[in-house]
Amino acid sequence: MNNPGKPPALHGISGSAPGLSLDLNAPAQGNVGDRKSRLRLSFGKSEAADKTEPSISMMKTSISLPLQIQSLEDIGFSTQLDRLQCRSLQNTGKLQLSPEIVYEFTADDLEDLGEIGRGNYGSVNKMMHRKSGTIMAVKRILSSIDDREQKELIELALVMRSTHCDNIIRFYGAVFKEGDCWICMELMETSLDKFYKYLFGTLQSSFPEEILGQIALATLNALNYLKSQLNIIHRDVKPSNILLNRRGNIKLCDFGISGRLIDSIARTNVGCRPYMAPERIDPTKSQESYDVRTDVWSFGITMMELALGEFPYPIQEWDNVFKQLSQVVEGEPPRLSRDSHPQFSDDFIHFCNICLMKEVSRRPKYKDLMVHKFIVAAQEAKTDVEAYVEPIFAKMDVDRFPENFPVTS
């Protein structure tokens, strides 16, 4: 994993009461655990049946991650912010396109090229920064969020702007316009859920195992970076949150800058695919016991779905949410085998199956997966993903920034 830079210094983890107390006289510190639990910066497009939006509610417990963010003073925080000041906060912001290229900008410096997604909390538009010509995705969070959340959004954008991981969506900056918060992010071409459905459905094809290896490697790199460098657990790993472009870049998104994200199943309807680990659904399990292995389960479901071209659970047999949850908690997990799936190698089969161990203590963590034979082979192979995806993108008849760019709220 390429990690040339160093993220904001993170110091110990401690318990915290719900809510956010932001001392603006302190050296740019804040309770990221609380901030993160309530906000999502989203890219992956929802399933058609997934129409109910998540409830952005505070969790009963949270973690505190004091951050040192040198840039905070650059965005206009004063020592005493009142409600009126907050509404006008960040009318002028900093757009950091690279470590060397930084622009002062306002929302008026962005040319709107059309909406590419919408949710209850706002929209995502394709926009161009006029001075640089940079095309980007801009998530516009409606002014219905409160003042504290607006301040949190700015801090979150700054945290992620300092992130240096090739497999995580880049954040350029944030600005306010008429109370709405505009968050500027890297624009990718499609998500893996759209890509694999076209691949399996229209082209009647499938991913070569070496491409699955590169997808697994990129996703693991991103998840491991979030946890090891920012102490973030994703909690919403699925194909729609893994993005792809013509150049073969594979990037993770929709991690909400959160250590305690909204549960995927909280917004489910019948027909929605539950990627959550059994221990997250089971009400007898304590949330305090969750760790990265919850993401490992979701990652295993994701990899199996991409390999098979369909969700590994029998969605067609579910006619209510209870059956969905019961299947995950009480039923046997999906399994690959040489008998039923002879097209896959033993290493890939073993890799997927160990990710889907129902007993958490037997499920591997990232450090274990990174040394698995399947991942080591992917690291050594240096497969040209661009050469594989470019002809498929050409057949999909999409330009570099298509209107169907995947977005969820």
pLDDT in the model for residue 140:
85
In this structure, the dihedral spanned by the alpha carbons of residues 68, 74, 76 and 80, taken in order and rounded to 10 degrees, is 40
Bridge partners, residue 101, by sequence: none
pLDDT in the model for residue 179:
76
Catalytic residue among 193, 236, 254, 295: 236
In this structure, what token pair is assigned to residue 76?
């206009």
Regarding pTM above 0.85, the answer is no
pLDDT in the model for residue 381:
96
**Residue type present at position 90:** Q
Bridge partners, residue 110, by sequence: 129
pLDDT in the model for residue 154:
59
Gap between the Cα atoms of 105 and 83, Å rounded: 23
Q: Which residues contact 341 (CB under 8 A, 6 or more apart)?
A: 307, 308, 349
194 belongs to an annotated ligand binding site: no
pLDDT in the model for residue 181:
82
pLDDT in the model for residue 372:
98
pLDDT in the model for residue 150:
58
Tens of pLDDT along the chain (409 residues)?
444 444 443 333 333 333 333 333 334 344 444 444 444 443 334 444 444 444 433 333 333 333 333 343 343 444 333 433 444 444 788 898 888 899 999 999 999 999 877 765 678 889 999 999 999 989 887 765 556 665 665 566 656 666 788 999 888 888 888 878 888 989 988 889 999 999 999 999 999 999 999 999 999 999 999 899 888 788 889 998 899 999 999 999 875 433 333 333 334 333 456 898 998 888 777 655 678 999 999 999 999 999 999 999 987 777 787 888 888 999 999 999 999 999 999 999 999 999 999 999 999 999 999 999 999 999 999 899 999 999 999 998 654 444 444 444 3
Known catalytic membership, residue 112: no
Domains, the chain, in order of start with CATH, read 14-185 (3.30.200.20), 190-396 (1.10.510.10)
Gap between the Cα atoms of 83 and 93, Å rounded: 19
CA distances to 244, 300, 357, 370 from 351, rounded to whole Å, are 22, 8, 11, 11
